[in-house]
Structure 1
């Protein structure tokens, strides 16, 4: 008996373990591009034997002519694959973070809301090539080891589980899978527009690095991210144990913190501040709090986002949470994650 084409089989194999890992419904986020369409097709096929409900959602950002019609055509494609329910979410894109960042934020909120309505996991079509691009962006921006560690296969935030089953699959494979199944795909012009950072990275930087280093760069970057995540997860676990050991009545002993290795100390402080409800915590805030431990000169309170603050009193760090200066509004920004959502 002849099986499916190789690319199709690879996609189905990639989604099968995660799909069968539980009975919770899955909602495939589909833009109409090859990656997400191939993901939706693989999920639709595997759902029959897994017994897991699989739906689809497409987001209309309203940023390009004909976007509403395109979203409807994508929805029709998903219905034809057998996904149910199929949702179309139209969003208003703001200005914060530039065009790419603002569109990503609006899309993230729409997907999270749809998943919450259905109690579903969100399946995203990010591939190994997307992972490589993310690692390079993290390196170039110097935004910390978590950003260099790239995207994780599964992550739960604010009650929503984000699942990326294709992180070991190449972009060329998803396109071939669509061709093999006769599935129409839409090539977003933003993906090749040099005005956008990721597009230039994809079209200019990575091909050049591949040429200079003789190929294999994207898999190597993805492999590096995976190894780094293992190290970071181990450090985070050690930090959680240290915080449990050191924390008193909500405060921390400065002298014992100073004795910890810097990488571990900062993780303890970051977790302590986040657990204390400090929103939008950034590196500049963390370093200012650390200075109360490692460069103590009798300095005063370190002001933190949301009205929170940290002081050193009698050799201990004390956190005044945001509520001490009045409750934050419901739409206050949440803690900024170091890795891509």
Structure 2
């Protein structure tokens, strides 16, 4: 019996677990960019899709396996890269293999090019899954990606949820390779005869404006002189940490993400319940005006919600543990349409001050154009223009930050 390459075996084992819940003839799609991670995932899925649930007692069953490639059109030659990725997926036996070229939004994107590309990519995946009836979309993120995500979350100072990194599963999406290193996916491609593409934005520029070594942020050999922050973490920060602290930093960061996610899931669930209670109490006309009591007499003007606002009872929030209250306030901001990556400790501090250190301060601005104010023992949040205001009792914990 031919010996299977260790990296190939590890990739197949990871995919086997991700496919285990699928039934006969269910469709799974690989989100493929043509890079090493997603091509290795495509190869493992093509192999394992024929034998889902196979064991010593069962012959298993087949599921349908296809691929979706989203061409952002943001780089020269992107159509050729997409076509090459599609051809290799078809050669592996995946079917259907679909290339999507979503329309770019008009006007500038305030979230930046990375967030805009990500939104286009995930929108393309979700639309394709809906069109084809796919039960699951598999993403090729690796342990290295997870370590980078944790470092970015730590730098933002956005709390335990941001340290939780990317979830292994969220809705239709799953990430089988979060336990594999990037070097392993490259080894899978080499063993499988796959020619992977390296995104130039994942590489650091080699020259600076004066022709010398490039400094932080990129050089002239990067289009527009722009180097994505994640690429700088990958090429500069992690190597320094490994050299200073020794090997195993990426693995330790990934373990931190797993531990933080369990904690964050529990705390977010409790915070969502607190938020729901505060929203319900704010609708009760007989409820007291919160801990400020008589001091709220000056708040009578503007006590009714304005269009697009939702109210939270200050008394319910103030009675909660500070850690839980602050987490609930952050969830309230997210429900009002604030981006998770933009909602920082500074914004949560401003909301918390309305609850526990009220001194008549005026409205506070929040990311995306959302706003908060206090009146008559209630905290009012106005939804961001890009957000939705569906009512606070329906707010549930987020399961991801930035993927």
Q: Please give the residue correspondences for 1:166-177 in structure 2 after superposition, counting only pairs within 5 Å.
A: 166-177=177-188
The residue number in structure 1 matching 2:374 is 311
The residue number in structure 2 matching 1:78 is 89
* Pick aligned residue for 2:151 from 136, 141, 147: 136
- Asked whether 1:112 is paired with 2:126, we answer yes
Q: Please give the alpha-carbon distance, in whole angstroms, between the structure 1 residues aligned to 2:144 and 2:370.
A: 40
The residue number in structure 1 matching 2:281 is 248
Summarize the Cα distance change of 1:211–1:286 in structure 2 as closer, same or farther, 3 Å threshold. Answer: closer
The residue number in structure 1 matching 2:12 is 12
Two-structure CA RMSD over aligned residues (Å): 2.7
Deviates more, 1:216-225 or 1:264-273: 264-273
- Asked whether 1:34 is paired with 2:36, we answer yes
The residue number in structure 2 matching 1:149 is 164
The residue number in structure 1 matching 2:319 is 259
What do residues 47-84 of structure 1 show as CA deviations (whole Å, max 9, x unaligned)? 11123222101122223332212211111111111111
Task: Give how far 1:3 is off.
Answer: 4.5
Task: Give how far 1:174 is off.
Answer: 0.7
Query: SS at 2:196's partner residue?
Result: coil
Question: TM-score if structure 2 supplies the norm length?
Answer: 0.73
Summarize the Cα distance change of 1:142–1:2 in structure 2 as closer, same or farther, 3 Å threshold. Answer: same
Whether the 8 Å contact between 2:277 and 2:316 is mirrored in structure 1 is no
Task: Give how far 1:147 is off.
Answer: 1.9
Summarize the Cα distance change of 1:219–1:334 in structure 2 as closer, same or farther, 3 Å threshold. Answer: farther
- Asked whether 1:214 is paired with 2:228, we answer no
Whether the 8 Å contact between 1:26 and 1:52 is mirrored in structure 2 is yes
Q: Please give the alpha-carbon distance, in whole angstroms, between the structure 2 residues aligned to 1:135 and 1:88.
A: 31
Summarize the Cα distance change of 1:22–1:306 in structure 2 as closer, same or farther, 3 Å threshold. Answer: farther
Summarize the Cα distance change of 1:319–1:101 in structure 2 as closer, same or farther, 3 Å threshold. Answer: closer
The residue number in structure 1 matching 2:77 is 66
Gap regions ≥5 residues in structure 2 = 53-61, 206-217, 219-226, 284-310, 390-397
Q: Please give the alpha-carbon distance, in whole angstroms, between the structure 2 residues aligned to 1:268 and 1:5.
A: 48
Gap regions ≥5 residues in structure 1 = 323-327
What do residues 214-245 of structure 1 show as CA deviations (whole Å, max 9, x unaligned)? 11100011111111111111211222333444
Task: Give how far 1:333 is off.
Answer: 4.5
Summarize the Cα distance change of 1:268–1:92 in structure 2 as closer, same or farther, 3 Å threshold. Answer: same
Deviates more, 1:132-141 or 1:187-196: 187-196
Task: Give how far 1:308 is off.
Answer: 6.5
Task: Give how far 1:32 is off.
Answer: 0.7
Query: SS at 2:51's partner residue?
Result: helix
Q: Please give the alpha-carbon distance, in whole angstroms, between the structure 2 residues aligned to 1:264 and 1:289.
A: 13
Greater radius of gyration (CA): 2
Summarize the Cα distance change of 1:199–1:45 in structure 2 as closer, same or farther, 3 Å threshold. Answer: same
Summarize the Cα distance change of 1:21–1:301 in structure 2 as closer, same or farther, 3 Å threshold. Answer: same
Summarize the Cα distance change of 1:62–1:185 in structure 2 as closer, same or farther, 3 Å threshold. Answer: same
Question: TM-score if structure 1 supplies the norm length?
Answer: 0.85
Q: Please give the alpha-carbon distance, in whole angstroms, between the structure 2 residues aligned to 1:198 and 1:310.
A: 35
Summarize the Cα distance change of 1:103–1:262 in structure 2 as closer, same or farther, 3 Å threshold. Answer: same
- Asked whether 1:125 is paired with 2:126, we answer no
Whether the 8 Å contact between 1:301 and 1:312 is mirrored in structure 2 is no
**Aligned pairs, number:** 326
Q: Which has the higher helix share?
A: 1
